[in-house]
């Protein structure tokens, strides 16, 4: 009985392997499309968050948007494989080749987002408008720190 079940499990696993491999290897163009959509959504969220800061509104309503931006930046750094830079065949991107020639600086700029967004979320949840406004500024500056060297205009 036990052996029979083990055999069944093995057959199921073998059948699933090609599917898993196909899913694990999206094309460079598909990676770039998803990457741009992710940054675009983060940008839209940040625009809405900044509007609340400018208006001096209650920051507590922005916590959900900040959480969405945090979720994006948790994986954004993994979305820059080789062959997805500006100039690569069949790729429509503003990601500059400098990302791949100076990866350490790029990774540092990416890692800087984590603590900025944590501070932004804490300031928003606290309801303190001045702290929230300062944290929005600091977060926006961190976006620019990466865009200036690594994103084409
Ligand atoms: C570590 C680098 C880095 C950080 C940090 C970063 N970005 Fe970007 N961003 C990029 C790169 C590179 C691209 C170009 C992606 C592409 O075209 O494939 C981009 C593209 C974008 C785009 C354009 C997406 C589109 O429509 O194609 C927006 C909007 C954007 N980022 C917003 C933000 C915001 C807002 C922040 C801060 C909360 C931020 N980014 C932080 C590197 C970064």
Q: What is the pLDDT of residue 1?
A: 45
Lining residues, ligand 1, CB within 6 Å: 32, 35-36, 39-40, 42-43, 46, 69, 93-95, 106, 109-110, 113, 139, 142-143, 146-147, 150-151
- Distance CA(117)–CA(106), nearest Å, equals 17
Q: What is the pLDDT of residue 24?
A: 65
Domain limits of the chain? Answer: 28-150
Residues in the chain: 153
Q: Which two tokens stand for residue 10?
A: 């093995």
- Distance CA(21)–CA(11), nearest Å, equals 16
Distance 18 CA to ligand 1 centre (A): 34
Nearest CA to ligand 1 atom 27: 36
- Distance CA(43)–CA(29), nearest Å, equals 21
Neighbouring CB atoms inside 10 A of 62's CB total 26
- What is the fold, at CATH topology level, of the domain defined by 28-150? 1.20.120
- Average pLDDT of the chain, as a whole number: 90
Pick from 152, 37, 142: which is nearest to 96 by CA? Answer: 152
* pLDDT digit string, tens, across residues 18-50: 555 556 678 999 999 999 999 999 999 999 999
Nearest CA to ligand 1 atom 26: 40
- Comparing 102 with 7, the larger pLDDT belongs to 102
| Beta carbons of 38 and 88 less than 8 angstroms apart | no
* pLDDT digit string, tens, across residues 46-104: 999 999 999 999 999 999 999 999 999 999 999 999 999 999 999 999 999 999 999 99
Distance 122 CA to ligand 1 centre (A): 23
Q: Is 79 helix (H, G, I), strand (E, B) or coil?
A: coil
Q: What is the pLDDT of residue 25?
A: 78
Verdict on whether the full-model pTM lies above 0.75: yes
């Amino acid at each position: 009985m036990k052996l029979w079940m083990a055999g069944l499990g093995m057959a199921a696993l073998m059948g699933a392997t090609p599917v898993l491999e196909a899913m694990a290897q999206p094309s460079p163009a598909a990676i770039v499309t998803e990457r741009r959509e992710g940054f675009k959504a983060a940008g839209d969220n940040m625009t809405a968050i900044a509007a609340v800061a400018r208006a001096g509104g209650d920051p507590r309503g922005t916590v959900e948007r900040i959480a969405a931006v945090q979720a994006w930046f948790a994986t954004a750094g993994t979305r820059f494989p080789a062959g997805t830079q500006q100039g690569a065949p069949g790729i429509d991107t503003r990601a500059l080749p400098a990302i791949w020639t100076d990866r350490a600086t790029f990774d540092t700029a990416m890692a800087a987002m984590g603590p900025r967004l944590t501070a932004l979320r804490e300031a928003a949840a606290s309801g303190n408008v001045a702290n929230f406004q300062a944290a929005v500024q600091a977060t926006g500056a961190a976006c620019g720190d990466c865009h200036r060297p690594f994103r084409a205009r």
